[in-house]
Structure 1
Amino acid sequence: MRFTSEQRLDDGVLEREFTLGQGLGEIPGTLWTPGSAPAPLILMAHNNGLPKSDPRLVARARYTAARGYAVATIDAAGCGDRPRSAAEEQARAELRRAMQAGEPVDEIFESFIGPMVEKAVPDWQATLDAVLSLPGIGGPVGYSGGWTALGIRLAVVEPRIVAAGFFAGGFVPRAQREEARQVTIPLLFLLQWDDEGNPRQRALDLFDAFGSKEKTLHANLGGHTGTPWFELEDGCRFLDRHLK
């Protein structure tokens, strides 16, 4: 892990850019750490590969770090500014065309989001290893983000993750919908009732499928990007219960 820049925010949070690896396999990321230590770690991902610099993710990360957590995010393979394969670019172009034409898009989503999840998991695990080796950062570990499919996969394969907060706003491939039954950690599931891109019943069915004995659904009126700000505070209280 090589830190490439840093800045101290007004609330004492240290924000640092970093890279893992070398060459074309280099993983760019950002780490936020609070002024106090030791701090539990939150892996924070945005929806289906949006960049780590997305303003909504950065705002959530800074708020969460100010509440006493270390927060790490990355651009995993095929995400953000990372290189994309010709097949991924073709699938995205076909998705845009189908959406503009009002055609079904589930199979197109399956063709690139499923493989994207599989490629992203090793990058996130490498990030987890590197960040946990730093002084002042330790377990337990939580996951928070709109990339629900990635969160499901990580919760199944990564025992260090003990709680997760999901946003029901992205496409979840069939493989991860099946894996949801294997997820048993405590969950907080956020649903925008009028999300134009996420069928409500599909989100409710996914919530029902999770194998967790402790799972909470928060549903709010509004569209995809209308999640109320108070849900961020409630999400931190959820993390406090399970990670502190």
Structure 2
Amino acid sequence: MHFAFTSEQRLDDGVLERAFTLGEIPGILWSPPAASAPAPLVLIGHPPLGLRAMYPRLAGRARHYAAEYGFAAATIELPGSGERPRWAAAEQARAELHRAKEAGEPVGGEIVDALVLPLVEKAVPEWQAALDALLSLPGIGGPVGYEGGVISVGVRLAVVEPRIVAAGLFAGSLIPAVMFEEARRVTIPLHVLLQWDDEGNDRQAALDLYDAFGSTEKTLQANLGGHTGVPRFAFESGARFFARHLR
């Protein structure tokens, strides 16, 4: 896929922010103010709500990595979200999820699989293509970390992408049963963030997934509060995790 920068701006903390396209996929790259050697790279995952809606949170994390730790950070738009073409199967799966929740019914495995697994199948190769393009740029040399959600996308990337050496995963999304089997094949260092009172999260499923990970180095950080109530110090713990493994 053709990679091209479409805009750039130098932010007030010295971080260089550049929008890009990879084929039809929009993305953003944040580069540190100055670097004497090629920078490590953190891929920042996010839920399928659109880059525009997620920008403040993504940019905040990325700029912190760049300005404070000297990492480059990048994200891409997920399939079917933001400015990308609508995806009928995903829209149908989301409608089924909302119907079940409004009716007070349990969210069955078929709905979870239909919602999450096609997204994983489409998104992971796109992340790998983005990684190919980003690592070819001057000033970026790896190693590479992945952080954020959808957690199943992070699990699959941790299994299939050898260039990712550490992952910070955000619990809080629905988890297909097959991902518990894939989690047993994950061996890289992990830092898992869990909001204990997340109203949309199956806490026990998140704990079971953590238990399933095959990594010999894994940390679970659980904080009181809902989905959007992540304390600032929790993100700093994740940044220090990447500092240990990407330097």
Alpha-carbon separation, structure 2, partners of 1:202 and 1:242: 27
Identity %: 69
Say if 2:151 is the partner of 1:152.
no
Question: 1:34, 1:171 → 2: CA distance?
Answer: 34
The separation in 2 between residues aligned to 1:40 and 1:113, in whole angstroms, is 29
2:241 equivalent among 238, 241, 244: 238
Question: Number of residues paired by the alignment?
Answer: 239
- Pick which of 74-83 and 30-39 moved more: 74-83
Q: Deviations over 1:194-240 (max 9, x none)?
A: 11111221111111100000001111111111111111111111001
- One-letter amino acid of the structure 2 residue matched with residue 74 of structure 1: I
Question: Which ranges in structure 2 are unaligned for 5 or more consecutive residues?
Answer: none
1:6 to 5, 8, 15: 8
Distance 1:212 1:193, change over 3 A: same
Q: Which residue of 2 aligns with 1:102?
A: 104
Unaligned runs of 5+ in 1: none
SS of residue matched to 1:99:
helix
In the TM superposition, residue 85 of structure 1 has moved relative to its aligned partner by 2.5
Q: Aligned match of 2:191 in 177, 185, 188?
A: 188
* Aligned ranges 1:49-88 → 2 under 5 Å: 49-53=48-52, 54=54, 55-67=56-68, 68-88=70-90
Give the C-alpha shift of residue 50 in structure 1: 2.5
Amino acid at match of 2:46: H
Superposition TM-score, scaled by structure 1 size: 0.94
| Aligned pairs (5 A) from 1:207-222 | 207-222=210-225
Distance 1:197 1:161 in 2: 28
Which stretch shows the higher mean deviation, 99-108 or 175-184? Answer: 99-108
Give the match for residue 20 of structure 1.
22
Aligned to 1:41: 41
Q: Which residue type is aligned with residue 65 of structure 2?
A: T
Query: How large is the RMSD of aligned CA atoms in angstroms?
Result: 1.2
Provide the rounded CA distance (Å) in 2 between the counterparts of 1:140 and 1:149.
Answer: 22
Instruction: In structure 2, give the amino acid aligned to 1:36.
Output: A
1:61 match: secondary structure:
helix
